[in-house]
Amino acid sequence: MATVLSRRLGKRSLLGTRVSAPGALADGVLAAPQIHTVLPDDLSCLQPAEESSQAPRFPSPSRRQQVLVTYNGQDCTGLVEQHNPPSDKVKVLQPEQSLHTCWRLQDVPEVLQRSVSDSIDVPKRKADAAVEMDEMVAAMVLTSLSCSPVVQSPPASESSIPSSRAACDPWKESGDVSDSGSSTTSGHWSGGSDISTPSPPHPEGSPKHSSEALSSPPADDGFETDSDPFLLDEPAPRKRKNSVKVMYKCLWPNCGKVLRSIVGIKRHVKTQHLGDSADSDQRKREEDFYYTEVQVKEEPASEATTNTSPTSVSAPIIIHQALAKPEALLVEPPVLEPALASSALSQSAPSSFWHIQADHAYQALPSIQIPVSPHIFTSISWATATSTLPSLSPVRSRSLSFSEPQPPTPMLKSHLILASPPRVPLGTRKVRGEAKKCRKVYGIEHRDQWCTACRWKKACQRFLD
């Protein structure tokens, strides 16, 4: 558990860094008003300030960082030639344009810095940004809660593109939540990283489906793409292989939204930029004009977990799956009771324990104690517990039970380990509890009244500690 909570700091580099070029810097080297360097999952962050603005994105983890630059609406690659930490400037070479441009780093949400490598310093986040993030998190949670699991859960392949959500990056915030609550800290990631964290399963669905389901006009805010970060650490059930996924990016100035489906992007362009007027033919052509395909390389979760080796990049955009994000689970609404969800969010939530007890669960899983505290893992634990112990009757729950049936969610055993209380130090014998056991209560002479486990000299199931 503790290990899960401790998050690992990502190395710092351009990756995950938003750089910008303010109009007037002393040295006047800056060529464009604004560029962004973002994590792969931050597609929607791209918001060129002008038509001509450039947006370096998705730097590769390779030594000489490669970034994607949006130049006049076209993507081209650039190489980070040098980075000057004191001034936070980055020099980018765009071979295709034979351009050298300089950029300035701008602070970004923490989550974006998770998988960064080591060449560039990422400045701390500002406080007001944090507030914004808080709001975003809240909004995200609400949004998630209002969605059905099916709609909410996109196909596995999309898990790697929590782009738009990351745009403003609520995730980092949730990360903070699970941490200590200091959401203003910054650049500081101690993440549930190395270990694979539990993640809710998702019904498979076609991208089209989910994206269309989500893209009802008013709500067309790019959420289609975010499918979910939760999948990032999705374990075995879905074996993802490296593949290239086609996304659609809005080329409208100051937009840069990336969606999964053509329909979605068209609708986005139409509704957000062209106006939803009736003369469709013209509009239709314009829609086509204002989006472009981008290829997104997907990597298996396992690789992401280990923060992958910095191999060279072939695809323009690399969706670098973030490390397991516990916070992502936070927003796993279908299995969460709202109150619980909010408690997970709220750091002031009181601690308590759930006891799920089943007399004959012995040998399978005696009991599950789930610390309900500011820890995000609460929800995980519950999902895990219920999914692994389908036979448990809610009625037997001692202190807390959910009326909502849990969706069948296959989980890994390791998740259970994470979720279960540290009652049994691995490899050691369980510390004897205070509670009376059948033997004491009934005495040897009434052995027949003992619980089965006691009779078998197993851990007592009747008087749990």
Partner DNA sequence: AGTGCCGGGAC
Partner DNA sequence: GTCCCGGCACT
User: Which residues of this chain interact with DNA, rule CB under 7 A?
Assistant: 360, 363, 428-433, 436-440, 444, 452, 454-460, 465
Question: Please, which residue, 23 or 427, has the CB nearer to DNA?
Answer: 427
Least distance from DNA to the Cβ atom of residue 448, Å: 10
Residue among 241 and 432 whose Cβ is closer to DNA: 432
Nearer to DNA, 122 or 389 (CB): 389
> Nearer Cβ to DNA, position 243 or 391?
391
The smaller minimum CB distance to DNA, of residues 185 and 452, is found at: 452
Q: In angstroms, give the least distance from the CB of 440 to DNA.
A: 4
Rounded to the nearest whole angstrom, what is the least distance from the CB of residue 367 to DNA in the complex? 10
Task: Give the 3-state secondary structure of the chain.
Answer: CHHHHCCCCCCCCCCCCEEECCCCCCCCCECCCECCCCCHHHHHHCCCCCCCCCCCECCCCCCCCEEEEEECCEEEEEEEEEEECCCCEEEEEECCCCEEEEEEEECCCHHHHCCCCCCCCCCCCCHHHHHHHHHHHHHHHHHHHCCCHHHHCCCHHHCCCCHHHHHHCHHHHHHHHHHCCCCCCCCCCCCCCCCCCCCCCCCCCCHHHHHHHHCCHHHCCCHHHHCCHHHHHCCCCCCCCCEEEEEEEECCCCCCCEECCHHHHHHHHHHHHHCCCCCHHHHHHHHHHCEEEEEEEECCHHHHHCCCCCCCCCCCEECCCCCCCHHHHHCCCCCCCHHHHHHHHCCCCCCEEEEEECHHHCCCCCEEEEEECCCCHHHHHHHHHHHHCCCCCHHHCCCCCCCCCCCCCCCCHHHHHHHCCCCCCCCCCCCCCCCCCHHHHHCHHHHHHCCHHHHCCCCCCCCCC
CB of 463 to DNA, least distance (A): 8
Cβ closest to DNA, residue 403 vs residue 428: 428
The nearer residue to DNA, 395 or 426, going by C-beta atoms, is: 426
H-type alpha helices, 300-366: 301-305, 326-330, 338-345
Considering the complex, state which of residue 125 and residue 437 has its C-beta at the smaller distance from DNA.
437
Q: Kind and range of the H or E element at 415?
A: helix 413-419
User: Please, what is the minimum distance in Å from the beta carbon of residue 420 to DNA?
Assistant: 13
Cβ at position 391, least distance to DNA in Å = 11
Q: Which is nearer to DNA, 161 or 361 (CB)?
A: 361
Residues 6+ apart with CB under 8 A from 280: none
Q: Closest approach of Cβ 318 to DNA, in Å?
A: 44
Q: Minimal distance in Å, beta carbon 240 to DNA?
A: 31
How near is the Cβ of 197 to DNA at its closest, in Å? Answer: 25
